[in-house]
Amino acid sequence: MARKKIALIGGGQIGGVLAQLAAQKELGDIILFDIVEDMPQGKTLDIAEASRVDGFDVKLNGTNSYEDIKDADVVIVTAGLPRKPGMSRDDLLTTNAKIMKSVAEGVRDNAPNAFCIIISNPLDAMVTLFQKVTGFPHEKVMGQAGVLDSSRFSTFIAWELGVSVKDVNAMVLGGHGDTMVPLVRYANVNGVPVMEMLERKYGDTNIAKEVMDAMVQRTKLAGGEVVKLLKTGSAFYSPASSAIAMAKSILRDEKRVLPTCAYLKGEFNVDGYYVGVPAVLGENGVERIIELSLNAEEQSQLDNSITAVKGLVVDMDRLGF
CA gap 53, 316 in Å, rounded: 46
> Which is nearer to ligand APR, 194 or 223 (by Cβ)?
223
257 lies in the site for ligand APR, by CB under 6 A: no
Query: Of 50-58, 79-87, 109-117, 199-207, which segment contacts ligand APR by CB under 6 A?
Result: 79-87
In the beta sheet, which residues pair with residue 1? none
Instruction: Find out whether 129 and 103 touch, Cβ atoms under 8 Å.
Output: no
CB of 36 to ligand APR, least distance (A): 5
Of the candidates 274, 271, 259, 257, the one whose C-alpha atom is nearest the C-alpha of residue 181 is: 259
Task: Give the range of 5-13, 107-115, 160-168, 295-303 binding ligand APR by CB under 6 A.
Answer: 5-13
Of residues 1 and 229, the one with the C-beta less far from ligand APR: 229
Q: Does 44 bind ligand APR (CB under 6 A)?
A: no
Q: Please indicate whether residue 138 is annotated as part of the active site.
A: no
CB of 212 closer than 8 Å to CB of 186: no
CA atoms within 13 Å, Cβ hemisphere of 31: 22
Q: Does 285 bind ligand APR (CB under 6 A)?
A: no
Residue 48 binding ligand APR, by CB under 6 A: no
Q: Which is nearer to ligand APR, 24 or 102 (CB)?
A: 102
Task: Classify strands 5-9 and 74-77 as parallel, antiparallel or unpaired.
Answer: parallel
Q: Calculate the alpha carbon distances from 317 to 128, 169, 179 in Å.
A: 11, 37, 21
Nearer to ligand APR, 97 or 157 (CB): 97
Q: Decide: 177 and 88 in contact? Cβ < 8 Å.
A: yes
Residues assigned a catalytic role: 176
Positions in the binding site for ligand APR (CB under 6 A): 9-15, 34-36, 78-83, 92, 96, 99, 102-103, 119-121, 233-234, 236, 239
